[in-house]
Amino acid sequence: MKKARTASLTLDDFLPYRLSVADNVVSQRIARVYAAEDGLSTQEWRLIAVLGEDGERSQRELVQRTRMDKVPVSRAARSLEERGLVRRATSQSDARSRRLTLTASGRGLYRRVAPAALEAEAEVLAELSPAERAVLRSLLERVERAAIRALERPL
């Protein structure tokens, strides 16, 4: 019989914790841009950013693209629709599916806020050289792909 291994967890050395803390702090900094000026939540901004970049998408596609749960995506979509920033329409091919697109007001908000979000990102990354930024981006993409593969495997 194998002896149970005792794990010693130190949060500051635990990658998921470090990623979560970094995400929270960076997201809070970027959120100042769209929350202060336009009263948007992080989830609402993510939908606007995806729709501004990708164009019309279904709620299912937004869930996949943002990796957010479907309930926050649905709430954010509904809120954006109520504010006149997004138009939600029933899909022609699937009556259960909703297609979202930015309204003229939503496109204007995206064009106004995106440059400020990029400025906030540059502020957060200012201590990294361009080469370090590229390495960080590459490493994060690799970690994300590995996590996605792990999620797809059965338990």
> What's 49's domain CATH number?
1.10.10.10
Range of the domain at 115: 26-152
In a domain, 21, yes or no: no
Mean pLDDT, the chain, rounded, equals: 91
The span from the CA of 131 to the CA of 119, in Å, is 19
The pTM (predicted TM-score) of the whole model is 0.83
pLDDT of the residue at 90? 77
Contact (Cβ atoms closer than 8 angstroms) between residue 77 and residue 100: yes
At residue 5, the pLDDT reads 65
For residue 4, pLDDT beyond 70: no
Whether 69 is covered by a domain: the verdict is yes
Report yes or no on 88 lying in a domain.
Answer: yes
- Mean pLDDT to the nearest integer, 122-144: 97
Which residues, in sequence order, are CB contacts of 38 under 8 Å at separation 6+?
Answer: 109, 113
Q: Is residue 78 part of a domain?
A: yes
**Percentage of residues in the chain having pLDDT higher than 90:** 79
DSSP state string for 121-144 = HHHHTTTS-HHHHHHHHHHHHHHH
Residue 127 lies in a domain: yes
Give the per-residue pLDDT at 19: 94
Report the number of distinct structural domains present in the chain. 1
Predicted local distance difference test score (pLDDT) of residue 92:
73
Q: For residue 65, is it within any domain?
A: yes
What confidence tens digit (pLDDT) does each residue in 48-99 have? 999 999 999 999 999 999 999 999 999 999 999 999 999 998 767 766 778 9
Q: Is 5 within the bounds of a domain?
A: no
pLDDT tier, 41 (very low <50, low <70, confident <90, very high otherwise):
very high
C-alpha 141/C-alpha 49 separation (Å) is 19
